[in-house]
Amino acid sequence: MQGRFHRNSRQRSNSPRSGSGFHSARDPVQRGGSNGVAGAKRQYERYLTLAQAALLSGDTIEAQNCYQHAEHYFRVMTGQQT
């Protein structure tokens, strides 16, 4: 049975091209939409939705965190710099 486990297990690599972590840093689609204003708008709406859900569940700290992320993407959309 041990040999069977090893055949089904995933091989990991330390190569920078292997995409260590959840997503590859070279793939902007998986990183969450770093494709200009359209990606920023999508992320802005995503974080607003997450903040509203957090408020409904009573988690005000998580809601504040999501609102701060949404504010960042709002600034990216409008071209503001801090």
Cβ neighbourhood burial of 48 (10 Å; 0-12, 13-18, 19+): middle
User: For the chain, how far is it from start to end, CA to CA, in angstroms?
Assistant: 58
Q: What's the rounded Cα separation, in Å, for the pair 64 and 52? A: 10
Q: What residue ranges do the domains of the chain occupy?
A: 34-82
Name the residue among 80, 50, 74 with its Cα closest to residue 63. Answer: 50
> pLDDT tens across 19-73, in order?
444 444 444 444 454 578 889 999 999 999 999 999 999 999 999 999 999 999 9
Q: Kindly tell me if the per-residue pLDDT of 75 is higher than 80.
A: yes
